[in-house]
Structure 1
Amino acid sequence: MRTRNTAFPLFAVLGWGVMFPVLASALTRVDALNLTTARYVLATAVLLALLLAREGVAALGTGRRGVEVLLLGGLGFAGFNTLTNLALGYAAPQQIALFASTVPVVTQLVRWARDGVRPRPALFGLSLVALVGVGLVITRGRLDGLGQFGVGGLLMIGAVLGWAFYTHGASRFPEWSALRYTTLTAVAGTLAMLAASAVADLTGLQHAPAAADLVAVAPQLAYAVLVAAVLAVLAWNTGVRRLGPADAALFMNLVPVTTFAVQTVRGYRPGAVELVGAALTIAALVAANLVTRTRARSATVTAPAPDAVVDRPAVVEPVAVVGR
């Protein structure tokens, strides 16, 4: 069962790894904020249709958690995606993808700060090992390569923090399906992006795209909407609920490796150090999943003392997922 559950975050991160080069090519025709807004207007429309068809109008209600939904949607959708698209204007896709691999470490620190759950030493250590591997992939073993991130790096620090809080937030809605959480936070994030785009267009910070520009980037937009925004985010939130935020976040280490592979197919030739880094990242991810599986089996044999502090997923019950 756990092996099957890992397919959800795996699908999500592979989809996002391909997304960086795809979006980078679209930014030559459409400004970053307008591209993000157009993407999520379309994606949110799809999600709303799916939610209404599956759970009905009642699922659109947030109860007394409207403010929390708005905040998480702003951080996860508006914050992460807008800052990422802006960062792609300052650095190469594979460099930006490096920062996505810090999500496992940051998510564990967010859980520690908000819930008092200390990161498991083995899990935290393997996250750092995977990050070292990603660093080798991107910098080709040269530490001075990190200095070229500049503004793009600063933007991605904000993006990663936003996504870490969003990932942690998914585990705080156990009574909601993954589809409902994804849709309602997407609505909140899209409203924030629409407001920001309108201000940016009116003040001249960016320019509203012409119809010809949107047609030119239609293939990239279709991938970014259907795969990266709808299917990948649904798969991600399902994985977070079934595996827990800390374990699911480990898969983010594969985002830059996927981006690197796409760039290689497009003509980039990797060196030996980069190949070693990719192998190290994958090995650390596999080891981390073996560690968590072993721990889960041990927990079923030996129950913890009533007052023991156990680092476990905030939600362990399976949830509904579209198409399953």
Structure 2
Amino acid sequence: MRFRSAAFPIFAVLSWGVMFPVLASALTRVDALNLTTTRYVLATAVLVALLLAREGLAALATRGRAAEVWLLGALGFAGFNALTNLALGHATPQQIALFGATVPLITQLVRWARDGVRPRPALLGLALVALVGVGLVITRGRLDGLGQFGVGGLLMLGAVIGWAFYTHGASRFPEWSALRYTTLTAVTGMLAMLAASAVADLTGLQHAPAAADLVAVAPQLAYAVLIAAVLAVLAWNAGVRRLGPADAALFMNLVPVVTFAVQILRGYRPVAIELVGAGLTIAALVAANLVTRTRPAAVTTTAPEPLAVVDRPAVVEPAAVVGR
């Protein structure tokens, strides 16, 4: 059962790992904020249609939690995606993807700060091991490689902090389906992005894309909308519901490894230390899965996982979505 639950975040991180090179190619024609806004206007339309079809008009109501939904949508959708696209203008996809590996650590710290749930030492340690592996992949074993991130690194730091709060926020809506949480936060995030893009266009910080530019990046938009923005986020939130935010966040370590693999397929040739790092990351994720699976159920020295008590299946199953 836990292996089946892990399929949700695995699908999401595979999709996002491919997304970085895809978005980097689209940024040659469309500015970062406008690209993010266009992507999520389309993705939100798809999500709203799915929600209405499956749960009806009543599912669009926030039931007194509008402020929290607005904040999470701004952090998780507007913040993460806009900052990521901006960062891609200052660093390579491989470098930007490295910051995805910091999500497990930041998510556990957010959970500790907000819920008082101290991270389990084993999971925290394995997250650090996986992060070391990713660092070897990206820096090719040279520690000075991390000092070359500059502005792109600062932007991505803000992005992953926003995503960590969004991931933790999913655990605070156990009565909502994954589809409902994803859709309502996407709506608020999309509205925040529309406002940011309008300000940027009016002040000359960027320029509204021409129709020809949008046509030119249509394949990239199709992937970014249907796979990375709709199916992947639905799968991610379903995984958070089943595994809990701390355990699900561990899979973010695979994002930079996937991005690295895509770059290999495009002609990049790795050195031995990079392959060692990829193996170390995967081994740490497997070990983390085994640790959580074999944890004694009777031991309750700390508060339980926020979503571990929710034993109903997520509304959106992979088979119902794929043919994130």
Give TM-score, length-normalised by structure 1: 0.96
Contact 1:95-1:149 at 8 Å conserved across structures: yes
Give TM-score, length-normalised by structure 2: 0.96
Question: 1:210 deviation in Å?
Answer: 0.4
Q: 1:21-72 CA deviation, whole Å, 9 max, x = no partner? A: 0000000000000000000000000000000000000000001100000000
In structure 2, the partner of 1:321 is: 316
Contact 1:107-1:165 at 8 Å conserved across structures: yes
In structure 2, the partner of 1:188 is: 188
In structure 1, the partner of 2:29 is: 29
In 2: Cα distance, 1:286 partner to 1:303 partner: 22
Between the aligned residues of both structures, percent identity stands at 83
Contact 2:242-2:307 at 8 Å conserved across structures: no
In 1: Cα distance, 2:148 partner to 2:243 partner: 35
Letter in 2 for 1:247: D
Question: 1:147 deviation in Å?
Answer: 1.2
Letter in 2 for 1:107: T
In 2: Cα distance, 1:90 partner to 1:241 partner: 34
In 2: Cα distance, 1:218 partner to 1:134 partner: 31
The 1:287/1:313 distance shift into structure 2, 3 A limit, reads: farther
SS in 1 for 2:166: helix
Letter in 2 for 1:29: R
Question: 1:309 deviation in Å?
Answer: 2.2
Contact 1:119-1:311 at 8 Å conserved across structures: no
SS in 2 for 1:118: coil
Q: 1:249-272 CA deviation, whole Å, 9 max, x = no partner? A: 000000000000000000000000
Q: Determine whether 1:107 maps to 2:107.
A: yes
In structure 2, the partner of 1:64 is: 64
Alignment root-mean-square deviation, CA: 1.0
In 1: Cα distance, 2:73 partner to 2:303 partner: 29
Letter in 1 for 2:307: A
In structure 2, the partner of 1:287 is: 287
Question: 1:313 deviation in Å?
Answer: 4.0
Contact 1:5-1:242 at 8 Å conserved across structures: yes
Contact 1:118-1:311 at 8 Å conserved across structures: no
Contact 1:120-1:311 at 8 Å conserved across structures: no
5+ residue gaps in structure 1? none
Within 5 Å, give how 1:1-324 maps onto structure 2: 1-295=1-295, 298-299=296-297, 302=298, 304=300, 308-315=301-308, 316-318=310-312, 319-321=314-316, 323=320
5+ residue gaps in structure 2? none
Q: How many residues align?
A: 317
Mean CA deviation greater in 123-132 or 141-150 = 141-150
In 2: Cα distance, 1:224 partner to 1:218 partner: 10
Contact 2:89-2:152 at 8 Å conserved across structures: yes
In 2: Cα distance, 1:221 partner to 1:35 partner: 8
In 2: Cα distance, 1:84 partner to 1:100 partner: 10
Letter in 1 for 2:311: E
In 1: Cα distance, 2:221 partner to 2:174 partner: 32
In 1: Cα distance, 2:304 partner to 2:113 partner: 13
**Regions of 4+ moved over 3 Å:** 313-316
